[in-house]
Amino acid sequence: MSLLGIADLDRVGLETLVESATAMKTDPSRNAGILAGRSIGLFFAKQSLRTWVSCDVAAIQLGAHPLAIRDDTAGMGTRESAADVGRVLARYLDLLAMRVHDHSDLVEIDKWTEIPVVNLLSNLEHPCQAVADLQTIAEHRPLPGARITYLGDGNNVCHSLMLAGATLGADIVVGCPPGYEPDDELMTMARSREGTVTIVHDPEEATRGAEVVYTDVWASMGQESETELRRRHFAPFQVNEKLFALADPEAIFMHCLPAHRGEEVSNVMMDHPRSVVFDQAENRLHAFKAILVDQLDMRDNAGRC
The catalytic residues are 99, 126, 129, 216, 256, 284
Quote the CA–CA distance of 274 and 19 in Å, as a whole number.
23
Cα–Cα distance list, 216 to 17, 57, 174 (Å): 23, 25, 12
Cα–Cα distance list, 220 to 91, 165, 259, 260 (Å): 33, 22, 11, 11
Sequence letter at residue 256: C
Residue-by-residue DSSP string for 83-135: HHHHHHHHTT-SEEEEE-S-HHHHHHHHHH-SS-EEEEE-SS--HHHHHHHHH
Q: Report CA dihedral (55, 61, 62, 65) to the nearest 10 degrees.
A: 70
